[in-house]
Structure 1
Amino acid sequence: MTTTRRRATGVGLGLVLLTTACSESGGLTISNESPDSVTVRLGDEEVVVPSMGGALLHRYGCSPGDVAVVSASAAGDSTMLQGPVCSDQQIVVDRAGRVTVAPEATDG
């Protein structure tokens, strides 16, 4: 593997950090409390978020437009969020599979 390819791979892996902790400033948080994993489509990027899990996109900024959230459930429910969605907001999938955009949670 060439140095350039290793760097590109490292950068790609560093873009998405799966986490259940609170996000740092400047990241877009996705929280999934539903029993099914979801795929979140942010322009050209796709992020798979496991059931009862979350994702944090560091230094993301804003989505280039609308955001699609597709459930891996048998029904394959899909929700389109009006964009852009920015790092001062978070995408939340609740236990019933409802998808909303909420202000980013802050500590204390």
Structure 2
Amino acid sequence: MYNYYFAVASQRFLLQEEPLEEILRERMDYYESINKDIDFWLVMNPQFIKNFNNNSINSQKFHQSYAAVVSLDKQFIQWLKLRISFVILGDFQSSSLFIPEY
């Protein structure tokens, strides 16, 4: 089983109000410098949050477009929460490797 961790917020917030692109680019550069494979993805309108039990998301009834940073690295997602305060954290398990739809 694979354990996945995520930080989710509205697309507008993550992509326009926060420096997410810069944060992820810096993380990719860091991974490259230590020869680590990329283990995170930016996912637009992730379907898995429909099953996520959180009143902040469920109260929106999916009228907003969401984006999520998904990772195998729990510490990275926790660090991301410190860097971008207004995200909701969660996790899920899967028997297969997560491959985002593009």
- After TM superposition, the score normalised by the length of structure 2 is 0.29
Structure ranking higher in strand proportion: 1
- After TM superposition, the score normalised by the length of structure 1 is 0.28
Q: Which has the higher contact order (CA 8 A, sep 6+)?
A: 2
